[in-house]
Structure 1
Amino acid sequence: MAVPFKICIDCTDPHRLADFWAAAMDYVVEDHSALIAMLLEQGVVTEEHTVEVHGRKGWKTAAAVRDPEAPFDPVRGTGKGMRLLFQVVPEPKTVKNRLHLDLHYGPDNYEAEADRLESLGATRLGAYDEDGAKWILMADPEGNEFCCHA
């Protein structure tokens, strides 16, 4: 059986990155408010672990986005398919990523999508055309590199 996984991204502001990546990928930000309410009621977590985001309770140190077409757990609010989890770490990003995402928008859309991503807070780092492959190297609002592919 294949091993399920999610990609975890270290950051300083998980909710800002969740909003950015949800918009970049047509994903949805996971709603963990029902799980948080249940854990608060049971005394497992305290209000110190939460923050209000978009009018509902979220985790103070984490947020996630998921494929809206994939199954999800309605109690936990977590996706059962491809997910990105953003988790707070104490140190800022200091070197180039050793792992990055490639977003494939297609040859007719990738330049317009790069413009849209810039309007969401991304930064263009370079454009490439190698052996027929075209892409724009970009960074998300916290400097994590990714590629916008043709």
Structure 2
Amino acid sequence: MTSRFTELVVDCHDPERLAAFWCAVLDFQVIDRGEGKVEIGSWEPTVEEVRARQMPPTLVFIQVPEGKTAKNRIHLDVSPIDRTTEDEAARLLALGATKVDVGQGPGRSWVVMADPEGNEFDVVRTLAPASAGHSRRRPDPHRGR
């Protein structure tokens, strides 16, 4: 038997605020709450479902006292499903994200952003139908990062 990737844990100061932001970004919902912890996902995981097949991981926000001090060693990539990368970046700015420079250089086809607590993530290629005039070619968002 192998392991399954079930959760991605994010240390933060305000789990409720970060969970609300990421629920709006990903169209997830809160699936569990505890003291200093909020878990969100696109599905309610059960042991049986996880054992049966690989399922999308949930995000768990855990309250910690220390702040973020350096560039993330791991980050999320998100792909818009119904708009361009640029339009999605604008939507995320309105939700509270910021654009950041982590040394990616100019002219990239993805946008590096940070959530309200400064955790970097990338908005990469759109998954909108090609008939809508969007490129489906996947650039390497990690080259030059």
- TM-score using structure 2 length: 0.69
Closer/same/farther in 2, CA of residues 72 and 107 from structure 1, 3 Å limit: closer
Matched, 1:7 2:1: no
- For residues 81-110 of structure 1, the C-alpha deviation after alignment (integer angstroms, 9 at most, x for no partner) is 420000011100010000000001269521
Between the aligned partners of 2:44 and 2:82, the Cα distance in structure 1 is 30
Q: What corresponds to 1:123 in structure 2?
A: 98
The answer on whether the counterparts of 1:106 and 1:149 sit within 8 Å (CA) in structure 2 is no
In the TM superposition, what whole-angstrom CA distance separates every residue of 1:86-135 from its partner, at most 9, and x where no partner exists? 001110001000000000126952111111111111001157545xxx10
Matched ranges for 1:1-150 at <5 A: 1-4=1-4, 5-30=6-31, 32=32, 58-67=33-42, 70-73=43-46, 81-105=56-80, 108-126=83-101, 129-130=107-108, 134-150=109-125
Q: 1:18 to 1:107 in 2, by over 3 A?
A: closer
Percent identical residues: 40
Number of aligned residues? 113
Matching residue's letter, 2:76: L
1-structure distance, mates of 2:60, 2:107: 31
Calculate the aligned-residue CA RMSD, in Å.
2.2
- Tell me, which stretches of 5 or more residues in structure 2 are unaligned? 47-54, 126-145
Give the structure with higher Rg (CA).
1
TM-score, length basis structure 1: 0.67
Counterpart residue type for residue 3 of structure 1: S
Larger strand percent: 1
